[in-house]
Structure formats: C-alpha cells, structure tokens
Amino acid sequence: MPFSPSNISSASMPAPISDSERLARLQRLRASMAKAGVIGLLLGSTESLRYFTGLVWHQSERLLGALVTEKGLTYIVPGFEKSRVETLPHLEGEIAIWQEEESPAELISALLGPKGMLALDDALPLFAYHALAKAIGSERLVDGARLIRDLRLLKSPAEIALIQYAMDLTLEVHRRAHAIMKPGIRASEVVRYIDEQHRALGAEIGSTFGIVSFGEATSLPHGADGDQVLEKDQAILVDTGTRLDGYHSDLTRTYMLDEPDAAFARIWQIERQAQQAVFDAAQLGAPCQSLDDAARAALALHGLGPDYAVPGLPHRAGHGLGLEIHEEPYIVRGNATPLAPGMCFSNEPMIVVPGRFGIRLEDHITMTETGPRWFTEPAKSPTEPFA
C-alpha cells in the first residue's frame, strides 16, 4: 500500500538499484541477444545505459556509450572524458577511448570484428547511426528496441518501490500546493513552491517539471505560455513529478477551491468515472488498447467524443513510466501489448472542453500478480483532490 505522508522520510526511502540487479539485467539481455542472433548491442548516452550499467551521461555530439557482447562490457568514451567516467558509478567494464580526430564508429567496428550483427539502442541519435552504417555497413545494423524495451517494460520489486516512494512524495507536494492556493497567487509562485517542497521532502533534483494552469488554460493539456494569476471560481490544474534514483513520479490533480458550477462538477465526475473505467479494464492479459477503449466508452455514455473529438479526450489514456516519464507500455488505440505483472503506467483520460476548462486526474497503476494496484489513491471530489 502507498505510504502515508508521515512516513515520507529518508529513513523509509528504498534502496537504489543494486549492481547485482544490473548484472542480472545484462544476463537477460545477453540471452535475448543470442536468441536474436546478434553479437553486440550498442547503448548510447540514454536511460538504457543507466538501466543496464548505472552510468548516467547526457547526450551530446560526442558519442559515449557501452558495447555489450556475449561476455564483455566495454564503455566507448571520448579520451578526455575517461577520467570523469572513472569517477562515476557504473558497472565494472573495459573503457575504450577515441580521440577528437578519431571516429567512435570505427572504434566500435574494430571491437566488434568483421562479422556479425550489431543491435542499436533505439534512442541513439541519427548521426551515430549514419557513422556506424559507414564504418560497419548498414546491412549489419539492426534495431535493438525490443531487446531493450521488453526488459525495461517489466519493473522489478526494487524499481516499483522507488516509483512508489517518488509518487508518495509528489502526492504530499500536491497536498502542500493545494494548501497555499488562493485568489491572486501566480502560477510561477506555485511552480517554485512545488520545486522547493520536492527538495524539502528529499528529492535532490526538485521537480522534474511543473505545470500549473488556471481557468481556461486548464483546457491546454501541457499548459499555457506566460504567468497566470488565479481568480476566484477558476479551475486549477497542477501536474508535477520528481525522480528517485532515476525513477519518475507524475501526478495531476484538477479542482476548484469553492463549490463549482454544475458544468464543471458534471465533467469532473465523468472524468473520474473514465479513470475508474481504465482501472477496471486493467486486467492481466488485457491488451493496452482496451483500456483506452474503456475510457472513451465511459465518455461516450455522456455524449463526449467520439474518438479524439472535443469536448472529450484528445490524446491517449496513459503512458508507461520508469526511467523515462513517457515510455512503454502506451495506453493507446492500436497497442495490442497484453498487460503483465511489473508493468507501470499512467491513468489520465483528460477531458477537454475547449475555451472553458480541462480536467485531468492522473494517477498511476502497477500490474501485480493478481491485477491492477493504484500507486496513489484517486481524487475524492471537485473540491477534495485527495482521497
């Protein structure tokens, strides 16, 4: 069950992902590579590099990554960055360097040898692909997305514990933000406060993002430009999250401070019904698209939609969550991926009423061996955004 706010402390913070778990991930990856008939897989400066090796590096025009082979792990590193890489947390492995006038693609080619297929991290930049195609041959390059994503799709207990803690922390930040809302407050003040409260509760990086919208701007799913001022009887939408050992939280609440008019109250209740319909449809083995279908069916009962038409739901009903804030599985039409234990995803079938308001209630679900479980309990009412 989720922690209560009083339990959010450094003492209850779950352990970071261990090297032993990362080694087990590499073992599973190598088994998948052998089945696929590839002799190597190249990870770029992506979240997958962190997932498998623990090394965190921001992508730039210089290729830094890791080559995974049947028995080896070799980091591909610009020569002048070698000393820095050595100081950062990462699994033990060889470090192969390339100098500024040299091609990292040629280095990878030499390490790989003249034969065999190389799978590529699906988040590698296009310039890296072109260089590799020139050095190795495009016929020897294959998409490594499924080798990587099928492993990352199913979270371990350690990953789920980190996400749960991050969600609990962000839910408490939402409570604190709700407590300072009053007419006259600026959206920028709330965003700054949310970041401060994330830090106060132990999130070293603060907020990874913060969307605070008032009134008509709530109908824009990712917020409006400029700084808004809250007026009396306006809708409030707050969407924010943080990271814990790389794992994201992401929660949205939409509410009013005083009793809403009939139109807002009606749409809020429909939104909550649609969110519950997604949860109820989230059964083991169900295709991801069936959850999106359930959300739209709930809206259609009230004359909203159809499809992506507004007033209604203009986007997918949810997205996966982990080391990336948007990752597989996507809860969207056309995705036949069956739900399985370990999957984690958002439930946010937002209703947009153009020119008036939008209501997004976003909580997340993890699939257990017995079915769906909320990371956080959904909102209670249009004026009570917490269970």
CATH number of 19-152: 3.40.350.10
pLDDT, residue 12, reads: 86
- Residue 208 φ/ψ, nearest 5 degrees: -80, -25
* Annotated domain spans of the chain: 19-152, 157-374
Q: How confident is the model at residue 45 (pLDDT cuts 50, 70, 90)?
A: very high
Beta carbons within 10 angstroms of residue 322's beta carbon: 24
pLDDT, residue 9, reads: 60
pLDDT, residue 3, reads: 41
| End-to-end alpha carbon distance in the chain | 14
pTM value is 0.96
Give just the sign of the alpha carbon dihedral 286, 289, 295, 299: negative
- Residue 48 φ/ψ, nearest 5 degrees: -70, -30
Give just the sign of the alpha carbon dihedral 316, 194, 54, 19: negative
Q: Are 38 and 116 in contact (CB under 8 A)?
A: yes
Residue 324 has pLDDT above 50, yes or no: yes
The rounded distance, in Å, linking the Cα atoms of 54 and 189 is 35
Q: Which CATH superfamily is domain 157-374 in?
A: Creatinase/methionine aminopeptidase superfamily (3.90.230.10)
Query: pLDDT (tens digit, 9 = 90+) per residue, 250-263?
Result: 999 999 999 999 99
Query: pLDDT (tens digit, 9 = 90+) per residue, 95-151?
Result: 999 999 999 999 999 999 999 999 999 999 999 999 999 999 999 999 999 999 999
Region 157-180: mean pLDDT is 98
Distances (CA, A) of 166 to 102, 201, 251, 359, 370: 42, 10, 10, 23, 23
Q: Are 177 and 187 in contact (CB under 8 A)?
A: no
Region 156-177: mean pLDDT is 98
Amino acid at 317: A
pLDDT, residue 1, reads: 40
pLDDT, residue 204, reads: 83
Q: Which of 4-13, 75-84, 244-253 has the lowest mean pLDDT?
A: 4-13
Q: Are 258 and 264 in contact (CB under 8 A)?
A: no
User: HEC string of the chain?
Assistant: CCCCHHHCCHHHCCCCCCHHHHHHHHHHHHHHHHHHCCCEEEECCCHHHHHHHCCCCCCCCCCCEEEEECCCEEEEEEHHHHHHHHHCCCCCCEEEEECCCCCHHHHHHHHHCCCCCEEECCCCCHHHHHHHHHHHCHHHEEECHHHHHHHHCCCCHHHHHHHHHHHHHHHHHHHHHHHHCCCCCEHHHHHHHHHHHHHHCCCCCCCCEEEEEEHHHHHCCCCCCCCCECCCCCCEEEEEECEECCEECCEEEEECCCCCCHHHHHHHHHHHHHHHHHHHHCCCCCEHHHHHHHHHHHHHCCCCCCCCCCCECCCCCEEECCCCCCEEEEECCCCCCECCCCCEEEECCCEEECCCEEECCEEEEEEECCEEEECCCCCCECCECCC
Nearest CA to 50 out of 248, 344, 246, 329 is that of: 246
For 130, the token pair is 């072109």
Q: Are 174 and 2 in contact (CB under 8 A)?
A: no
pLDDT, residue 6, reads: 46
Q: Are 118 and 133 in contact (CB under 8 A)?
A: no
Residue-wise burial string across 39-53, b where 16 or more C-beta atoms lie within 10 A, e elsewhere: bbbbbbbbbbbbbbb
